[in-house]
Structure 1
Amino acid sequence: MNPVNVINTINSQTEQGITEVYLVACGGSLVDMYPSKYFLESEARKIVTGLYTANEFVHATPKRLNKDSLVIVCSHGGNTPESVEAAKVAKENGAHTIGLTHNNEAALLSYSDHAFVYEWGADTDVKNNPMAIILELVVETLHVTEGYAHYEAFQNGIGKINGIIKKGEQQVAERTKEFADNYKDEELFYILSSGASYGHAYGFAICSLMEMQWLNAASIHSGEYFHGPFEVTDKETPFILLMNEGRTRVLDERAKTFLGQYAEKVEVVDAKELGINTIADEVVEFFNPILFYSIMCVYRAALADVRNHPLETRRYMGKVSY
């Protein structure tokens, strides 16, 4: 499927053009949607945006959901009951639906007007992974409905990001091993970031550390760090800071300065250092989380290896009733 064709088709089927975009998923798939939420809230003048965990969308459905709404639902396996039900609810309310999954036989596809069965795995080009596909869909939506001045710069960024990631993964390979050795016995991590990447700070906490490593973790927005959370800063608590390139970098730099004074266990992952500033200034901030996802996969793999705790290990998910 082509994002350009899909959005043009949907927009032509509406009365007023696409007026709302709802991004709906659970867990890691919801995290993949956060950059798109940030993009639309930052760049759109008219389009209303909502980011929903699927079960909340089902039980607290937005009243303005209508036939000019676009609902994008993502589920990696395609059979997450809450996400499938959310797509069904969207259809029942007359909205246009796009489903994303890695499964050709997913139940989600039954309620998707248009479907993207995406690629997955370490060898795939990230532009064919859900985070980038969803971002392309919302950029196209803005471009078609309102116009987007930096559309070409964004497309150039899509063409560059995979190469940046591959170099970045090589750049951090040794650092991640050192990180894992240093922090293998820790039981609590705080993850900081801002802008489009705050969603990945949240995702690394709940998915990579809590789900996959059974470690306590919490995300903190760099802008909120100084409004309560910095009181837990000490020399014993580990912090991971994902530093963005773009408009919110100043928030991350402020946090870095404070951590440098009052903390000792700090791991800084800097998108600028990893080469993302080869993407145009006007759009670079939207690519930070795509880079961070892949880079932090290297971190979590190193941690899993040294802790002898495989990333696939679960005690509840898919094993008990919930």
Structure 2
Amino acid sequence: MDAKKIINQILEEKGKITDVYFVACGGSLVDLYPVSYFIQGESKTIHSMYYTSKEFVISAPKTLTKNSITIVCSHSGNTPEAIEAAKLAKSLGSYVIVFTNNEKSKINSDSFNVIVYPWGDEISVQDEPMGESYALMNELLKAQEDYCEYEKMKDGLSKIDGVIRKAVQVEKDSAVSFADKYSKEPFLYIVGSGASFSQAYGFSICSLMEMQWINCGYIHSAEFFHGPFEVLDKDVLYILLMNEGRTRVMDERVLKFLKKYGSKYAVIDTRNFGIDIIDKDVVDYFNPFVFYKMACLYREELAKVKGHPTSVRRYMGVVEY
């Protein structure tokens, strides 16, 4: 993918971009949330929002116009509501970029700029939807407003694969221990903040609820103290995702409380994986890459202990819904 070429083409066709919408379902939406967060935190001229595909179709924003970009992701390329969302955005004048892993899918249409991405354990995250979306938006901010952290974002994208590899090595034993100790727990919570709140969400609904049939909730680190902490006791299990960057202070506050009043919790801390090789001015946006891989690691170890393959489903793709 030539991100700069795509952005130059969009700006030549559309002029100034005022809004970017990220639209997907489930795990694909998890991939796009951090990039929306990036625009909200860094852009002076562009507003951004993420939508689950069906809600986008039912209640499209009034600012969805010719001066907007809509990025739709469907891994299979055949998700009906994602296809509908892309068509709707196009009909309203938005420039539509589609990510899919399936070149032969229904969403691969000449109506959109379609990016077919590879998938697998050996693929660089730069070539996956989150990495490619970051690259696109980094180019957009550079072209439209001369984004001052442009080079730092590019450098971070070039380094994050190495951080992820180290994270898997460092955290492997902890994931094995967690699975051995807590595989029979009936419920747990995932807590996270910043761009990584997406990974608390994804870890919960995809890795644990969908793939392991474990009841699980997700909580924002700041919101933990505005209601959810009332259910904390010695028998409730938590996983805390500890960011490096500006939002870390919120995660540290949760950890302090867990240590004082809880007993069942695991902490996954990107600081332990050498993420500080990424510049502190942009490191906030790279934590989610690591936490996604950690969710994969933990669910695989749980699957081994529980004897529940991550591919098994009761409803998804099995029954009509």
1:127 partner letter: Q
Q: Residue 273 of structure 1 aligns with which residue? A: 272
2:2 partner letter: N
Flag as ranges the 4+ runs of structure 1 deviating above 4 A.
none
Q: Residue 286 of structure 2 aligns with which residue? A: 287
The worse-fitting range, judged by mean Cα deviation, of 96-105 and 111-120 is 111-120
Q: Residue 9 of structure 2 aligns with which residue? A: 9
Measure how far apart 1:204 and its partner are. Answer: 0.5
In structure 2, C-alpha distance between the alignment counterparts of 1:148 and 1:234, rounded to whole Å: 46
In structure 2, C-alpha distance between the alignment counterparts of 1:119 and 1:61, rounded to whole Å: 30
1:5 partner letter: K
Deviations 1:204-227 (A, max 9, x none): 100001111111111100011001
Q: Is the aligned partner of 1:56 residue 2:55?
A: yes
Q: Residue 217 of structure 1 aligns with which residue? A: 216
Q: Is the aligned partner of 1:97 residue 2:110?
A: no
How many pairs are equivalent?
A: 321
Q: Is the aligned partner of 1:37 residue 2:36?
A: yes
Q: Is the aligned partner of 1:129 residue 2:128?
A: yes
In structure 2, C-alpha distance between the alignment counterparts of 1:194 and 1:135, rounded to whole Å: 19
In structure 2, C-alpha distance between the alignment counterparts of 1:20 and 1:222, rounded to whole Å: 28
1:139 partner letter: N
Equivalences for 1:16-165 in 2 at 5 Å? Answer: 17-110=16-109, 112-165=111-164
Measure how far apart 1:4 and its partner are. Answer: 1.4
Using structure 1 for the length normalisation, give the TM-score: 0.98
> Where do 5+ consecutive residues of structure 1 fail to align?
none
2:152 partner letter: A
Q: Is this contact kept in 2: 1:76–1:100, CA < 8 A?
A: yes
In structure 1, C-alpha distance between the alignment counterparts of 2:49 and 2:156, rounded to whole Å: 25
Pair 111,74 (structure 1): closer, same or farther in 2 beyond 3 Å: farther
Measure how far apart 1:291 and its partner are. Answer: 1.0
Q: Residue 240 of structure 1 aligns with which residue? A: 239
Pair 259,119 (structure 1): closer, same or farther in 2 beyond 3 Å: same
Q: Is this contact kept in 2: 1:241–1:269, CA < 8 A?
A: yes
In structure 1, C-alpha distance between the alignment counterparts of 2:205 and 2:139, rounded to whole Å: 30
In structure 1, C-alpha distance between the alignment counterparts of 2:274 and 2:233, rounded to whole Å: 31
Q: Residue 308 of structure 2 aligns with which residue? A: 309
Residue 103 of structure 2: SS of its match in structure 1?
Answer: coil
Residue 312 of structure 1: SS of its match in structure 2?
Answer: coil
Measure how far apart 1:182 and its partner are. Answer: 0.6
Residue 315 of structure 2: SS of its match in structure 1?
Answer: coil
Aligned CA-pair RMSD: 1.0
Q: Is this contact kept in 2: 1:243–1:249, CA < 8 A?
A: yes
1:29 partner letter: S
Measure how far apart 1:112 and its partner are. Answer: 5.0
1:301 partner letter: E
Deviations 1:109-130 (A, max 9, x none): 2265312111111111111111
**Once the two structures are aligned, what percentage of the paired residues are identical?**
50
Q: Is this contact kept in 2: 1:84–1:111, CA < 8 A?
A: no
> Where do 5+ consecutive residues of structure 2 fail to align?
none
Deviations 1:87-128 (A, max 9, x none): 000111111000001001121122653121111111111111
Q: Is this contact kept in 2: 1:154–1:283, CA < 8 A?
A: yes
In structure 1, C-alpha distance between the alignment counterparts of 2:258 and 2:80, rounded to whole Å: 41
In structure 2, C-alpha distance between the alignment counterparts of 1:321 and 1:119, rounded to whole Å: 29
In structure 1, C-alpha distance between the alignment counterparts of 2:100 and 2:263, rounded to whole Å: 41
